[in-house]
Amino acid sequence: MKQLSTLKTLAFIMLGSLPIALFAQQPKIANWRPYDKTGINVFETSKNDTAAFDGLKVRFGAGFTQQFQSLKHENSAINNTGTGANRLYPLAPGFMTAQANLFVDAQLADGITLNVTNYMSSRRHNEFWVKGGYIQFDKLPFKGQFWSDLMKIATIKIGHFEVNYGDAHFRRSDGGQTLWNPFMEGNIMDAFATEIGGEVYLQKNGFIGMIGVTNGMIKGHVDSVIATVQDANTNRNPSFYLKGGYDKQVSEKVRVRVTGSLYTNSSQAGSGLTLYGGDRTGSNYQNVMEKGVPGALPASTAVAFSGRLNPGFSKKVTAFMLNGFLKAGGLEVFGTYETAKGRTKTETADRKANQVAIDGVYRFGKNENLFVGARYNTVTARLAGMAADVTVNRTALAAGWFLTNNVLLKGEIVNQQYKDFPTTDYRSSGKFNGFVIEAVVGF
Mean pLDDT calculated for residue range 86-104: 92
% of the chain with per-residue pLDDT over 90? 73
Lowest mean pLDDT among 232-236, 319-323, 345-349, 434-438: 232-236
Residue among 232, 301, 314 at smallest CA distance from 270: 314
Cα-based distances in Å from 274 to 136, 285, 313: 24, 20, 8
Which 8-state DSSP code applies to residue 236? B
Mean residue pLDDT of the chain comes to 90
Mean pLDDT calculated for residue range 114-126: 89
A 10 A CB-CB count for 107 gives 24
pLDDT tens for each residue of 3-39:
444 433 334 333 344 444 445 568 889 999 999 999 9
Lowest mean pLDDT among 62-66, 230-234, 356-360: 230-234
- Where does the pLDDT of residue 369 fall: very low under 50, low under 70, confident under 90, or very high at 90 and above? very high
Mean pLDDT calculated for residue range 85-95: 90
pLDDT score at 6:
40
CA 383 – CA 426 distance, rounded (Å): 14
Mean pLDDT calculated for residue range 287-306: 80
Please indicate whether residue 121 or residue 167 has the higher confidence score (pLDDT). Answer: 167
Residue among 145, 186, 188 at smallest CA distance from 419: 188
Residue 83 has pLDDT above 70, yes or no: no
3-state secondary structure of 271: coil
CA 387 – CA 84 distance, rounded (Å): 24
Mean pLDDT calculated for residue range 396-413: 98
Residue 225 has pLDDT above 80, yes or no: no
Strand partners, 410: 400, 438
A 10 A CB-CB count for 137 gives 19
Which 8-state DSSP code applies to residue 423? T
CA 165 – CA 313 distance, rounded (Å): 16
Question: β-strands 370-381, 390-402: how paired?
Answer: antiparallel
Which 8-state DSSP code applies to residue 82? T
Residue 385 has pLDDT above 80, yes or no: yes
CA 332 – CA 322 distance, rounded (Å): 17
pLDDT score at 279:
92
Most confident range (mean pLDDT) of 17-26, 58-67, 80-89, 261-270 is 58-67
Domains identified in the chain and CATH numbers: 29-442 (2.40.160.10)
pLDDT score at 217:
87
pTM score of the predicted model = 0.90
- Where does the pLDDT of residue 301 fall: very low under 50, low under 70, confident under 90, or very high at 90 and above? low
Residue among 106, 112, 105 at smallest CA distance from 138: 112
pLDDT score at 124:
81
CA 263 – CA 244 distance, rounded (Å): 12
Lowest mean pLDDT among 16-20, 137-141, 145-149: 16-20
pLDDT score at 1:
45
In degrees, to the nearest 5, what angle opens at C-alpha 119 toward C-alphas 401 and 272? 115
SS3 per residue for 131-195: EEEEEEECCCCCCCHHHHHHCCCEEEEEEEEECCCCCHHHCCCECCECCCCCCCCCCCCCCCCEE
pLDDT score at 307:
96
CA 309 – CA 306 distance, rounded (Å): 8
CA 38 – CA 61 distance, rounded (Å): 14
Mean pLDDT calculated for residue range 56-76: 95
